[in-house]
Chain A
């Protein structure tokens, strides 16, 4: 079955760190871009960052709000993508979704498969 399953969310204090994971199955993981998108009641949906495909050397891009604090990495052999979150702030509290991006006919990568998400709460 083609799916994404996130794990590792939890409660962390401001300034702390947390790593969440996303296990992919049912597709050729290294051929796809993998993104993280977070969801909050107040700010709605916010794109966090991207790990490009193996063909693009797994290069990463980040939203300005997390650049320098968050790191996306992959374990290609285990079909898992990680989001390492450092220097966490209360405003990082959100449901974090792992999202696959596929290539359309125009050669543009678009989000097409989502996981249910894992909840991260930053609070003292």
Chain B
């Protein structure tokens, strides 16, 4: 199975800051990499697919980059509603696998 490692596991930042989350795959996943956001009691929300493609309706302050084994999710101009957990997920091979998550506190 492809292991996905995220860092940091948690981050605390202020409104207006820029937050960067990294995700490393144990083997190359091309750019078949998702990022999504999870908030307690709500359905997880897809943010980015294909490493850098923004899902419809997701604010442009979210961006993704990377290819192969190393990927980054950047949240610019952090807003209070951006608090929650963020996960990466590869879909180049089965089983689909997820990173351990990053908690973002505002």
Asked if B61 CB lies within 8 Å of chain A CBs, one says: no
B5 to chain A, nearest CB (A): 12
Interface string of B64-96 (1 = CB under 8 A from A): 000000000000000000000001010110111
Q: Is the CB of B95 within 8 A of A111?
A: no
Kindly state the separation between the CA atoms of A42 and B24 in the bound complex, as whole angstroms: 20
**Does residue B20 face the partner (Cβ distance < 8 Å to A)?**
no
- Smallest CB separation, A99 vs chain B (Å): 8
A57 to B39, CA, bound (A): 34
**Contact yes or no, A47 B46, CB < 8 A:** no
A113 to chain B, nearest CB (A): 7
Interface check B55, CB cutoff 8 A: yes
For the complex, is B59 an interface residue (Cβ under 8 Å from A)? no
Chain B residues with CB under 8 Å of A1's CB are: none
Chain B nearest CB from A124 CB (Å) reads 28
With contacts A44-B101, A97-B44 taken as known, whether A112 is within 8 angstroms of B49 at the C-beta atoms is yes
CA of A115 to CA of B43, assembled, Å: 5
Q: How far is the CA of A3 from the CA of B44 in the complex (A)?
A: 12
Contact A116 B42 (CB under 8 A): yes
A11 contacts B by Cβ under 8 Å: no
* Chain A interface (Cβ < 8 Å from any Cβ of B): 3-4, 35, 37, 44-47, 61, 63-64, 97, 104-106, 108-117
Interface positions of B (Cβ within 8 A of A): 32, 34, 36, 41-46, 49-50, 53, 55, 87, 89, 91-92, 94-98, 100-101
